[in-house]
Structure 1
Amino acid sequence: MKQRKAIYMTESDMKRLEKLLELLEEEDNVRDQDHLVQLGDELRRAKVVPSKSIHPDVVTMNSKIRVKDLNSGNETIYHLVFPGDADAKNNRISILAPIGTALIGFRAGDVVEWEVPAGLRQLKIEEIIYQPEAAGDFHL
């Protein structure tokens, strides 16, 4: 990921994601160590704010967002979830997937870039359809 724009994360998301990373780093059979490093980098650079203070246009965990692929022009709705809730058929993408890591903390209107085997992929976050914090659904 080239982009170094400021990203925002709630305190509760940060705690849960740090715990997830710790658990995965303890496992010997984790396939994507490089990806865990990328997620760790994203967490370290995030500006952490209380859940009540996160702006409603920021992608947080369990957010549902509409994105536009700037390469193809296709629009897709993704739901960013923790690994146990991921379901590719229903566009429920894990935070551990490269696209999930790329999206967390960015805002509506931002263009997110990351490298894929075929080259650079760019998604524009068109809309935050649902954000738990904006809906009053705060994580513990």
Structure 2
Amino acid sequence: MPTPITKKGYDALKAELDRLRKIERPRVIEAIAEARAHGDLSENAEYDAAKERQGFIESRIAEIESKLADARVVDISGRTSDTVVFGATVCVIEQESQSKKQYTLVGQDEADMKFNKISVQSPVGRALIGKRVGDFVEVTTPAKVVEYEVVEIRFEDM
């Protein structure tokens, strides 16, 4: 099943893949060759660290390649909707505290709470999908049930 991703998120994964292939991989290969030149590999911490780093880089390359193969870029430029859909930025008011929060619904790999980007597969994301301004949603958290009112839906270029 294809995984939705914004164009910006797709481009970021492609850029990371290019950096890993063109910069990080050659750098670690050079570090391994340099460590080998120091002789006995059985007690060579530099060699062990470089091999470990190489394993990480190769597994991350494989992971990104798999994600890109399964990705379905969703173009939200110029989009409008009166319901919450993938790519929407949603302003809500948490009913108990009356605090205003803003979330942008993105794909799993793009979610980043520092930037208020949540996955459409998260509990809040799933609860908001299909809602309209004025609708209320309940989200069950480990601590309590939180009720939000949807107060704005907009789309920003991503």
TM range (shorter): 0.5 to 0.7
1:58 aligns with 2:79: no
Helix, strand or coil: the match of 1:99? Answer: helix
User: Alignment partner for residue 134 of structure 2, among 109, 113, 125?
Assistant: 109
1:78 aligns with 2:103: yes
Q: Distance in 1 between matches of 2:89 and 2:139?
A: 20
1:114-125 → structure 2 map (5 Å cutoff): 114-125=139-150
* Higher RCO (CA-CA < 8 Å; seq separation 6+): 1
In structure 2, stretches of 5+ residues that fail to align are 4-78
In structure 1, stretches of 5+ residues that fail to align are 1-17, 21-53
Alignment correspondent of 1:96: 121
Percent identical among aligned pairs is 34
Q: CA deviation at 1:65?
A: 1.1
**Larger of the two Rg values belongs to structure:** 2
Q: CA deviation at 1:19?
A: 3.6
Q: Distance in 2 between matches of 1:118 and 1:77?
A: 21
Segments ≥4 residues shifted beyond 3 Å: none
Q: Distance in 1 between matches of 2:104 and 2:80?
A: 18
Q: Distance in 1 between matches of 2:82 and 2:110?
A: 23
Is the Cα contact below 8 Å between 1:59 and 1:104 reproduced in 2?
A: yes
Alignment correspondent of 1:127: 152
Note closer, same or farther for the CA distance 1:109–1:131 as it changes in structure 2 (3 Å cut).
farther
Is the Cα contact below 8 Å between 1:60 and 1:131 reproduced in 2?
A: no
Helix, strand or coil: the match of 1:118? Answer: coil
Is the Cα contact below 8 Å between 1:109 and 1:125 reproduced in 2?
A: yes
Normalised TM-score (structure 2): 0.48
Once the two structures are superposed, residues 73-128 of structure 1 have per-residue CA deviations (whole angstroms, 9 ceiling, x without a partner) of: 10011100011111110000011211111111111110001211222110100011
Q: Distance in 2 between matches of 1:77 and 1:117?
A: 21
How many aligned positions are there? 85
Once the two structures are superposed, residues 32-82 of structure 1 have per-residue CA deviations (whole angstroms, 9 ceiling, x without a partner) of: xxxxxxxxxxxxxxxxxxxxxx98220000001111000111001110001
